[in-house]
Structure 1
Amino acid sequence: MLPVLPLAADTELAAFGQDTWWILTIKVFAIFLVLVLLTLFNIWAERRVVARMQHRIGPNVHGPFGLLQSLADGVKLMFKEDILPKAADKVVFILAPIIAAVPAFVTFAVIPFGPEVTMFGERTPLQLTDMPVAVLFVMAVASIGIYGIVLGGWSSGSTYSLLGGLRSSAQMISYEVAMGLALVAVFLYAGSMSTSEIVAAQEDLWFGLILIPSFVIYVIAMVGETNRAPFDLPEAEGELVGGFHTEYSSIKFALFFLAEYINMATVSALATTLFLGGWRAPFWIDKVWAGANEGYVPVIWFFGKVLFFIFFFIWLRGSLPRLRYDQFMAFGWKRLIPIALVWIVAVATLRAAKLEGWLEGDSLRIVIGVLAAILLVLFFVGGTGGAADTEDAEVDLTPREGGFPTPPMPSTGAVRGAAAPLVFASPPTPARVAGEDA
């Protein structure tokens, strides 16, 4: 198995903080430009891929293969009328999209794109900066972006927007806990929270292969964290018109749109860094090609892995229907978090056994494989919870004269029929209220 690296090793972090001001300026500008262009490409790719899934053509007019369609939409949003609702809190309403967009860019400051290279005669790593707690920095800054969504929904003065903002806050709490727990096993194996050191620790074997439950939990949590289908409850157009951004238009709506797609790239880049070896060559191509992990070539491997996760996001959107809200929250709290906690205990125990010499070589790999298989079985084939307990529950569906149409609760057995009758609850007349008070 992989050796435990010392925390904040000087050999990995010493290269950072030594760049001249113009090298830093080039890096900042390059990251900004790459993220903007990647967003335009991701929007185009999503339209084309979903169109193929639904047997449509997709954008094909503006530019070759419709590549300029996203740019045309951006220009259109820039020049559209900007509407400010009367009931809105004007200052917060304007600041909310900015709060959502700025952290999306900042998180890429600690993502490694490649090894050390020579840039205009200067030796520098293909990473803006790094720190001993870089992964925690990414999660902390990404959490700030949620405030933009919550404040945008609250400040709009709309009930639909407020409900979308509340859903987003609950969703962030639920799935960020599971995401953080999924990363603990990576920290235990890498011995560091620095992104460059975690990539270095995967030189021989990727963590996505030896920590499969953590990888699966992280991938599910990252979809929920970015409010993407089938977890796009904060902007469910079938229930909340548009959710938190219902009242937004023009450039402010474009900033929310930009933040969502950059956050997709952020969680994809973090998954690549923590579980798929970062910028290192896939399929161990470096064993047959000495230059696969040298110079600017690793940038190709890095973005190839990121685009794989972007395609995964698009595939989910074109394949799965939106979850019901109570199912979505129960899945996070009753499945992801408990399984993540059990897996952390198992990994910590195995690491201690390895360091103490209790398990060696193949026996350790066999134990890890068995534990991973058990957890995956529990994850996908777990009990149905309280659904079976209420299968035969009897519900009083007797209609009452003059009552209001009220559908039965989803957990009752009545809704399992093809057409469940409506319950007509009697209105609270003064006589009834007086009788209940007596």
Structure 2
Amino acid sequence: MEKEGNRRLRVVLVPGPFQGHLNPMLQLGSILHSNGFSITVVHTQYNSPNPSSHPDFSFLALPDSSSIFTGESFIPFALQLNVNCKAPFQECLAQVMRQQGLDDGIACVIYDEIMYFSEAAAKDLKLPSIVLRTGCAALSLAGHAIFQLKAEGHIPFPESRSKDPILDLYPLRFKDLPIMEKLENFMQLLSKVANIRTSSAIIYNTIDCLENSSMAKIQQQCQVPIFPIGPMHRIASATSSSLLEEDTSCLAWLDKQSFNTVIYVSLGSSAFMDVKELVEMAWGLVNSQQPFLWVVRPGLVPGAEWNDILPQSFKENIGKRGYIVKWAPQKEVLAHDAVGGFLSHCGWNSTLESICEGVPMICRPCYGDQGVNARYVSHIWRVGLEYENKFERGEIERAIRRLMVDDEGKKMRKRGKDLKERVELCTREGGSSNNSLIELIKMIMSF
């Protein structure tokens, strides 16, 4: 790819410092790099990515002066991060521009929507910017609706209305809205994230065959082009950007299991449980009589040592039927023939990865966008079932058997296979995601 003679364009990426945000941004970087762009990743010191996983990228760390995210203060953390990072980022960009040669000019800045300080800094330096939204398109519609619902006095809503449907947002209910922490702080962050200001376009890690109607509504609301180019993990070169060390020994264990029999359990990189919930999960898995691969992340139970959190009697009961790891190579796990179901928190990356492999889900959302994702999985795409109750061993056992044994699960597995094939068509030449990527590349080259 060339422009103005031998000039090679550089794209500056600004990922959010969380696993679910970091993955798609680095995948986008790999996609753009394979199409001829140079890539510079400007990141926070907190949860900084591993440069060795992407040797062709340049990495620059911001002195963000941020406190460590505790999992209970996302909104103030994100707001403060944007205050801390704006000036260092602008200086960092200016330095890159001073050092660039004639063959390595910055074409644009692509930033995660929660890192909105990037747009102002890029504007000051007269650089174009593009927003990457790492959630589904339906999440953006839910965010847009929150402003209207609050203005009409429907938010905050009483518990008695939590399961009431929201008009024009089927299948979402009030309880599914991605409202986090104190409402005032949440609305402040939401207003910052929703306003793309002078940015030239929006990229979504989603797929037209999943969210065609949602994308059409968003385009009506937006004055700039939108580019759905997902699933990025399928289009990008196969590299890992996991912040946790993956235990690949589970793949050898999966090789010994029968086709479609294993329930894979992972609540993601930032969810928490208490000891009682963990114990109930453990016995629900045992009592289901299904082989299981369970991710018990260090820190999943705050304040507990990893070796001490599972009951000894549980360890004695699982035998060879269960396998427990601190973190799993999830894409490889979901692609394994032995895996027939996924009990998930329904983060968007996990949801996409499961859909791409045709693996049906038990949806147990924890916070944020996960309620929106879970409702679409269970009510629109119908490739999963909702688990809305507290963690209780009998409920867990029944949910697993519904998915893994009953006719209901078999039907979901068939729909999942059909949806997987539709997604694959979107990424091929002439498919919607492929076409969107071509248009995005044309836009970046035109800057």
The TM tier, using the shorter chain, reads under 0.3
Which structure has more RCO (C-alpha within 8 Å, separation ≥ 6)? 1
TM-score, normalised with respect to structure 2? 0.24
- Greater Cα radius of gyration, structure 1 or 2: 1
Which has the larger strand fraction?
2
TM-score, normalised with respect to structure 1? 0.25
